[in-house]
A and B are shown apart, each in its own frame.
Chain A
Amino acid sequence: MSENAKSVTIIMIEDDEGHARLIEKNIRRAGVNNEIVPFASGTEALTFLFGPDGSGDISAGRSLLILLDLNLPDMTGIEILEKVKANPHTRRTPVVVLTTTDDTREIQRCYDLGANVYITKPVNYEGFANAIRQLGLFFSVMQVPETA
């Protein structure tokens, strides 16, 4: 694992605690040891990403990777995606959409908004675990730019 990858913080926005836990476990099993910061609601995640003033200055200089679920209790993941890709400090941050929705239009919309990867959570657990582990392997070779 490169130096760069080591310093990357994984922001996991996922309201289902079980899913969050399983995702974390499987990423760890893939040998990824980066810090994972979980958020169970969109509001908390936005505060972390853009600060209390919403400017995004707080994220300047961070190396982030966002794991995003689309079905959140207080807002849709699409909104978060829009904000992340619209803010000059976070727009280069890779966003992995990880959700149960496999609607074609939804997937297209996410890519149109700048999502880097779109993964449908497989229903069977083996598939799910496998997908997450592969995602972890992908993380370990991925270069994440430092935010401006």
Chain B
Amino acid sequence: MSLSRSSFLLRTLILLLLGLVALASVVVTNVWLVQRTQDYVTEVTQLRRLRAAGVDLRSRLQDAETGQRGFLITDDPAYLQPYDDALANLGSYMDRLRKAAEVRPDLRPQVDQLALTIDARLGELRQTVDLARQGQRQAAIDIVREDRGKELMDQARTILQNIVSEAEDDLGRLGVAQGESANALWWVSVLGGLFVVFITLIGLLTILSYLRQLAATRQEVDALNVNLEERVRERTAELGRANEEIQRFAYIVTHDLRAPLVNIMGFTAELEQGVATLQSFVSYAGERVAGPDYEAAKLAAQEDLPEALGFIRSSTRKMDGLINAILKLSREGRRALKPERIELPGLIENAVAAIAHQVSEAEGEVALNVKVPALVGDRLSLEQIIGNLLDNAVKYRRRDIPLRIRVQAVARPGGLVNISIEDNGRGIDVRDHERVFELFRRSGQQDQPGEGIGLAHVRAMARNLGGDITLNSTFGEGSIFTLTVPAQLRATTRSMAA
């Protein structure tokens, strides 16, 4: 299974959300179910109270009746005790029932009916008991025999029975509902839990597979890295060989170019001698052989030939200069670098001292700000580079303002050192920034002697040191040449080109 980073994130996020939603719904359902159970419990309590109130009321009624019957039969007031107790308490029992019956408002008419019936029944009881107390026992018994009391009692009993059974029915119903609710709670918890566990497992599997994939990728990267280092080494060696070949090529070419040039210059010199002989002959012979042929020969000997020879000479001299420049560069490339500890401030001060005379002539000054005490490098290369750049700063200064040169050296991250040489000279047009580093190329007004090899040489040396040189310049305002070299010249840099 292959997972991209984004699809992995999306998947885990979705799984997390799913788990969260499942968990939340389980919690919400549980809370709701528990709330419902609590409601059931309250209701059950109320219904129990109602049932108990009904049963109690019935007992008290029976107590009152029992007391009346005992008294009527025995005429002994001691039997009236249950009657008196019931009579004293019936009111409060009735209130309890009424209150408890609020849970079932539909029972209210029955409760009212019951109250009336009980009142009537109590009236009958009180009447008979009063009669018996006054000694008219027979009259009381007659009233009892009328069966009105029994009817009332039966009515009350029926109503009470009805209320109690209603309460019992409700209790049964509630019991079932409570069971269902508990069941639902169980199912919701178990299923929700299972779902969360399932989601967690899937999430774990996803993470595991992603981790495995990461580990595999990492191994691959490590392998590639090893490979890469190997390839870099190979390429470096190849580059070194190519560089060596170029150096050899330049060296051989310059030497082979020299040979014909020696001939051209040599025979030009011979020709010049020949022309000199001719010239003296022409001027000497002029007195004797006049005529158009003579004039033509004279013109050739005195003007055309010397002119042609002059051009040949200047061209060969120029070519000689170019060949020498290439030779110098190729020699620099072949020179073995000698890494040594160099006190940078001292080296820069020496280089500045070398141009001090010209600077004071130009009424200029040189500011130094060298923050790198020392580095390991090739002294000759550094001296030549810095010297060359300082020479340029003096050579291409503006004549209308005093010369200002600033030399700075700072350490840079990565074990590098930046040496910058800033001047307020004539500057270099931005389109020539790369060109000035090319061999035989120059920029700007050509009023200074030179062959266009200085900066090419500087760049070749800088790169030989494992560094480079960059230019930042505005035409008419000045230039900043920044040389970047490693603080520790490594022997390996050299082995490439040597």
Chain A contact residues, CB within 8 Å of chain B: 16, 18-19, 22, 25, 71, 100-101, 103, 121, 123-126, 128-129
Contacts and interface: CB of A to CB of B under 8 A. Distances in A.
Interface stretch (B93-101, B115-123, B145-153, B264-272): B264-272
B270 A25 contact: yes
Contacts, number: 49
B320 A18 contact: no
Contacts of A100: 255, 258-259, 262
B262 A18 contact: yes
B262 A101 contact: no
Given A123-B320, A124-B320, A16 B259 contact: yes
Contact of A22 (B255, B256, B267, B320): B267
Contacts of A103: 251
Contact of A19 (B263, B270, B324): B263
A125 B255 contact: no
Interface in B313-343: 320, 323-324
Contacts of B320: 123-124
A101 B265 contact: no
Interface of B: 251, 255-256, 258-263, 265-270, 320, 323-324
A121 B323 CA distance: 14
11 contacts: A18-B263, A19-B263, A22-B262, A22-B267, A22-B270, A25-B270, A124-B265, A124-B320, A125-B265, A128-B266, A129-B266
Contacts of B259: 16, 19, 71, 100, 121
Nearest to B323: A123
B266 A125 contact: yes
Most chain-B CB neighbours within 10 Å: which of A25, A124, A129? A124
Q: DSSP majority for the B interface?
A: helix
Contacts of A129: 266, 269
Contacts of A25: 270
Contacts of B323: 123
Contacts of B268: 125
A104 B256 CA distance: 17
Contacts of A16: 259-260, 263
Contacts of A101: 255
B249 to A, nearest CB: 14
Nearest first, the 8 A-B pairs at minimum CB distance are: A18-B263, A125-B265, A22-B266, A100-B255, A125-B266, A100-B258, A125-B269, A123-B258
B293 to A, nearest CB: 31
A128 B260 CA distance: 13
A19 B262 contact: yes
A65 B282 CA distance: 42
Contacts of A128: 262, 265-266
Contacts of A121: 258-259, 262
Contacts of B262: 18-19, 22, 100, 121, 123, 125, 128
Contacts of A19: 259, 262-263, 266
Given A22-B270, A101-B255, 4 more contacts: A16-B263, A22-B262, A123-B261, A125-B266
B405 to A, nearest CB: 35
A119 B400 CA distance: 50
Contacts of A126: 269
Contact of B324 (A18, A22, A123, A125): A123
A128 B320 CA distance: 13
A126 B317 CA distance: 12
B65 to A, nearest CB: 146
Contacts of B266: 18-19, 22, 125, 128-129
Contacts of B260: 16, 18
B309 to A, nearest CB: 13
Nearest to A26: B266
A16 to B, nearest CB: 5
B27 to A, nearest CB: 90
Nearest to A69: B259
Nearest to A126: B269
Contacts of B267: 18, 22
A100 B262 CA distance: 10
Contacts of B256: 71
Contacts of A18: 260, 262-263, 266-267
Nearest to A16: B259
B33 to A, nearest CB: 100
Most chain-A CB neighbours within 10 Å: which of B256, B259, B260, B270? B259
